[in-house]
């Protein structure tokens, strides 16, 4: 397996972005299909994408506040 820390910064960011998008897509499919639970993939995907998209970061922060309340 390739370790991300050995990749150049731009390629590392691209790999993280693709991973986040893939997890969100799997999560959405999991919410639609009764075969797999979608939240297992959706939550980590949103956390990863939160590093790149401020609205998603705000959504994740809101969810964390609600979970701690």
Rounded Cα gap, residues 15 and 4, in angstroms: 8
Note the pLDDT tens digit of each residue in 17-35: 999 999 999 999 998 988 8
Q: Which residues of 3-26 are buried (b: 16+ CB within 10 A; e: fewer)?
A: eeeeeeeeeeeeeeeeebeebbeb
Q: What is the pLDDT of residue 11?
A: 85
Domain ranges of the chain: 13-68
For residue 62, CA distances in Å to 12, 54, 69 come to: 27, 12, 11
Can you give the pLDDT of all 69 residues of the chain as single tens digits?
567 677 787 888 898 999 999 999 999 999 898 888 888 999 999 999 999 999 999 999 998 899 887
Q: Which pTM does this prediction carry?
A: 0.80
């Amino acid at each position: 397996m390739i370790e991300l820390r050995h990749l150049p910064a731009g390629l590392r960011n691209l790999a993280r972005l693709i991973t986040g998008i893939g997890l969100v897509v799997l999560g959405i499919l999991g919410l639609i299909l009764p075969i797999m639970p979608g939240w297992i993939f959706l939550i980590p995907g949103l956390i990863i994408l939160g590093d790149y998209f401020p609205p998603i970061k705000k959504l994740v922060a809101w969810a964390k506040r609600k979970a701690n309340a």
